[in-house]
Amino acid sequence: MTTREEQRRKVTERLAGHLLATGLARTSVRQMAAAAQVSDRMLLYYFNDKAEALGEAMGHVVAQLGGRLEAALPAGDRMPPERLLAEAARIATEPEVRPFMALWMEVIAAAARGEAPYAGIARQVTTGFLSWIETRLDIEDPERRNATAGLILATVDGLALLEIGAGAPAALAAAERARDVRFTP
């Protein structure tokens, strides 16, 4: 028989996949249980409540994305903001990364509306992104580096947002145009 911890791990992975595939739309306890191939009764046995299950799954998703980002653009070599913006836009529009961005939009929106687990998650992920960007910027002044990281993150997130509202071609054209951006000084 599989122990509770094992099942919890397995369910977490399946839930993460489910989130990436369908977003936050199908996250009722019964729907999550079905996606994890488990009865709803058992889902709430493995996790104390729905928020814990969702939080665990989101954590798994974030870790996955973290690894992917690290692989795509290893830390260590710093670059000017123009190049980092282009790289970030490129990565964010990769087919494998786009489910993450879509989910990310939903989390942000849920956080904006103050839904319980999401506000904390959004804050945590945002600061993670910001420091990821900052450690790759070759800007000396910390304040300017931080502000620039914010602007780059805003632009990349905004491109994902544009894709939702105006379609992929428009977003792609705008991402292309982002290559013409220069930061002064």
Q: Site residues (CB under 7 A) for DNA?
A: 1-4, 7, 27-31, 39-42, 44-45, 49-51
Q: What's the Cα-to-Cα distance from 17 to each of 32, 58, 168, rounded to whole Å?
A: 11, 10, 23
Residue whose pair of structure tokens reads 């954590």 in the numeric block: 59
The distance from CA 4 to its chain's CA centroid, rounded to whole angstroms, is: 28
User: Among a copy of itself, DNA, none, what does residue 72 contact (CB within 5–8 Å per kind)?
Assistant: none
* Cβ closest to a copy of itself, residue 14 vs residue 144: 144
User: Among a copy of itself, DNA, none, what does residue 64 contact (CB within 5–8 Å per kind)?
Assistant: none
Q: Cβ 29 to DNA, closest distance in Å?
A: 4
| DSSP-derived 3-state class of residue 43 | helix
* Cβ closest to a copy of itself, residue 75 vs residue 173: 173
Which amino acid is present at 68?
A: R
User: Among DNA, a copy of itself, none, what does residue 45 contact (CB within 5–8 Å per kind)?
Assistant: DNA
Contacts of 147 (CB under 8 A, 6+ apart): none
Half-sphere CA count of 134, side-chain side, radius 13 A: 15
Q: Does residue 159 bind a copy of itself (CB under 8 A)?
A: yes
Spatial contact of 134 and 78, defined as CB atoms under 8 Å apart: no
Spatial contact of 92 and 160, defined as CB atoms under 8 Å apart: yes
* Cβ closest to a copy of itself, residue 8 vs residue 136: 136
Q: Cβ 105 to a copy of itself, closest distance in Å?
A: 5
Q: Does residue 142 bind a copy of itself (CB under 8 A)?
A: no
Q: Does residue 173 bind a copy of itself (CB under 8 A)?
A: yes
- What is d(CA 144, CA 147) in angstroms, rounded to the nearest whole number? 5
Sites of contact with a copy of itself (CB under 8 A): 23-25, 102, 105-106, 108-115, 122-123, 125-127, 130, 143-144, 146-148, 150-151, 153-159, 161-162, 164-166, 170-171, 173-178, 180-185
